[in-house]
Amino acid sequence: MKIIITGCGFSGINALKVLGRFSECQITVIDKRKDFIFLPLLPDVISSRIRKESVTYPINKIADKYKAVFINQAVKNINAASNQVILADNSALSYDYLLVCAGSETNFYKYENIKDSLIKLDDINDTKIIYEAVTNKAINNYLIAGGGYTSIELVSAMKKLLTVEKLDKSLYLVVRGNTILRGMPEWIQKYTIENLVKQGINIIYNTRLESFNNNKSILTSGSVYNESAVIWAAGVKCPDLIQADFLKKDIQNRVYTDKDLSVSDNIFIAGDCSKYIYKSAALRMGVSFSIRQGQTAARNIINRYKNKKTVAFVPFDFGYIIPASNEKSCGMVFVIKIKGKLATCLHYFTAVFFSYASNKIKVFLDLTSVMDKPASKRQGKLKTGEQNIYVSEITASVNKNNPDRGEMFAYNITIKFDPTYLGDMDIDLEHIRFQLGQSLEVLSLSTNREFTIIDTKNQAKLQIKAILKTNNQGSYIIGPIKIIAQEAVLETLAIEIIVK
């Protein structure tokens, strides 16, 4: 039995766990991303509370564990008549059963023509773009379009980042209607609005973006914001993949399914792209629903293959929480109102619980680490252009090869830091000052220097190799950057500087 799963989000991964235990399956999983991403924690990556590797996990490793084939491509379309999935490179894959778990993506509506100028939050790369925009000296006004769950959490995370970086910039939440969080209880709307206003976040009601060009934003109200950036979080849609007349879709391209999550004899839909009606109402998009839909759809594929009766998907609604980076979160758990630190703790508890494999430990350690502390309580600041990297520990060792005869010294210097935004950054090092014991050492390097950025799964390293030719045991230097090491706080990421 050939089974194809399109999309490796919460529903796709949990479907794979079920199908992977069925020996008669030949499973292929397809996703344009290389990693499974824990999307609800992306705002925390922006605010540096969570590291990016704590919310990502390689899909190929998951696929290998469940003996599936992983294809790292986008799906172009699905031909239901011929039972084929057409990939971005126009190759076709045949299936006996298909499970569509394509998730959702940002809906730019009528702004498709300028979407490349707008910032979105769909994947891990977008967190770096937002971080760089917030720390960009040329931008002082940030307009977050949208009044829903994502935009509220996003503007809160950006406020936290501004606080951590000690930047005096303005945040504007641009809401098309007359309130935020439409459809949610009035007390949640009121509590959230009060919290945003207390943080100094401006809320602009009954207006929308008119135009955006060259960092100039104009709203339909006539207001103009120069030196601005627009972060678009005004809605989502699902990829329109399946070409079939028998499908019924809503305005977001979510597909209406039967009670067993099927839309035909051999096609099932799960996760955000499933429009599932339960007790006369459509289920909202949510992690817990996606997980259980993936599991149910997978079991129903096996049941149908075995000519057994499929089962209806029965959702269990634990509730929801609107997270706030200042711990003024709020929400409903079952029918109980919760707010403040308790709501924040429950949000992160569920994040740890639903994280994949070893990421559970990573997220937990991030939440209990120094990462979200103000800059004044961190271990110094390493500044590279527009980037601020907060240093948590500096260690150094020296190997002396007969210094009395003027031979070469070899210094190994390790700088460990907090955030995750080194990646492929282009750094031009000229000098670094660093503290060794009680004295400030300055290390002079020759012109033969090699700078290499290494970005691996668990750590980003800046490796510097340079030749030191000096007899002087006193002043030694590397780099553009003044580093002041205070208390040592060990973090997972490291910049490793090797001087020989």
Residue-wise pLDDT tens digits, 335-347 = 899 999 999 999 9
**What are the domain boundaries of the chain?**
2-32+73-103+242-316, 109-233+322-358, 378-499
Phi, psi values for residue 488, rounded to 5°: -85, 125
Residues 351-402: tens digit of each pLDDT: 999 999 989 998 998 887 644 444 333 333 333 333 333 333 334 344 444 4
Dist. CA 392–CA 376, nearest whole Å? 12
DSSP letter for each residue of 440-453: EE-B---S-EEEEE
User: Per CATH, which fold does 109-233+322-358 belong to?
Assistant: FAD/NAD(P)-binding domain (3.50.50)
Confidence category of residue 470, pLDDT binned at 50, 70, 90: very low
pTM of the model: 0.75
Residue 145's DSSP bridge partners are: 174, 232
- 14 with 299: CB under 8 angstroms? no
Q: How far is Cα 348 from Cα 153, in angstroms, rounded to an integer?
A: 13
pLDDT at 182 (0 to 100): 94
Q: What is the largest CA-CA distance in the chain?
A: 87
The predicted structure's pLDDT at residue 64: 95
**Same-fold call for 2-32+73-103+242-316 versus 109-233+322-358:** yes
Using a 10 angstrom Cβ sphere, with 0-12 exposed, 13-18 middle and 19 or more buried, the burial of residue 116 is: exposed
Strands 216-219, 224-225: pairing kind? antiparallel
* Residue 295 contacts residue 14 (beta carbons within 8 Å): yes
Query: 């597909």: which residue's tokens?
Result: 255
Task: State whether residue 114 is helix, strand or coil.
Answer: helix
Compute the distance between CA of residue 311 and CA of residue 354 in angstroms, rounded to an integer. 24
Residue 277 to residue 126: CA distance in whole angstroms: 32
What residue type is 244 in one-letter code?
A
CATH of domain 2-32+73-103+242-316: 3.50.50.60
Whole-number pLDDT of residue 51: 87
The vertex-341 CA angle with 367 and 328, nearest 5°, equals 105
Q: What's the confidence (pLDDT) of residue 369? A: 67
User: Buried b vs exposed e over 250-271: b needs ≥16 C-beta within 10 Å?
Assistant: eebbbbebbebbbbeebbbbbb
Share of the chain above pLDDT 70, in %: 74
> Average pLDDT for residues 408-424, to the nearest whole number?
38
- pLDDT the model gives residue 367: 87
Helices (H), 243-401: 287-305, 341-354, 359-367
